Amino acid sequence: AQSVTQLDSHVSVSEGTPVLLRCNYSSSYSPSLFWYVQHPNKGLQLLLKYTSAATLVKGINGFEAEFKKSETSFHLTKPSAHMSDAAEYFCVVSATGGGADGLTFGKGTHLIIQP
C-alpha cells in the first residue's frame, strides 16, 4: 500500500522569493516519486522524478526536490518564484518492484504568486 500527503493545500509567496511545497509519502516498496504541475485548463506536466538514483533531483523551470528516506519526504523547492509558476502541483508516488500499482497522487498544492 502507498499514500501521499501534501501538507499544504495552498501556498502563497511573493515573486522572487523561495518556494517550498511539502510532500510526505508512505510505501511498502522502494518508491519512485514524482512532482507534476498543472496549469489552469491544461494537462499534467512532469516536473521531475526520483527513481533511486541521486537523492537531489533537478527538474524543469528551476525546480528541484530532495528525497529523504529517514523523513519519508520529497519536498519541492525553487530559489526564486516567477509569476508563471502559479499552478497546481501534485506529489506522486509509485511502487517499484511490486509491478501492480499505478501512481498514487496527493491532493495537490495550489501555488499562488503575489506580485
Partner 1 sequence: DAGVIQSPRHEVTEMGQEVTLRCKPISGHNSLFWYRQTMMRGLELLIYFNNNVPIDDSGMPEDRFSAKMPNASFSTLKIQPSEPRDSAVYFCASSPRQAYGYTFGSGTRLTVV
The nearer residue to partner 1, 56 or 100, going by C-beta atoms, is 100
* Shortest CB 56 distance to partner 1, Å: 17
The nearer residue to partner 1, 51 or 77, going by C-beta atoms, is 51
Rule CB under 8 A: which residues touch partner 1?
Answer: 32, 34, 36, 42-46, 49, 51, 90, 94-96, 99-108
Q: How far does Cα 11 stand from its chain's mean position?
A: 13
The nearer residue to partner 1, 25 or 36, going by C-beta atoms, is 36
- Which residues, including other chains, have CB under 8 Å from residue 79's CB and lie 6 or more apart? 18, 62
* Shortest CB 33 distance to partner 1, Å: 10
* Shortest CB 105 distance to partner 1, Å: 4
Sign of CA dihedral 89, 95, 97, 100: negative
- Which residues, including other chains, have CB under 8 Å from residue 54's CB and lie 6 or more apart? none
3-class SS of residue 22: coil
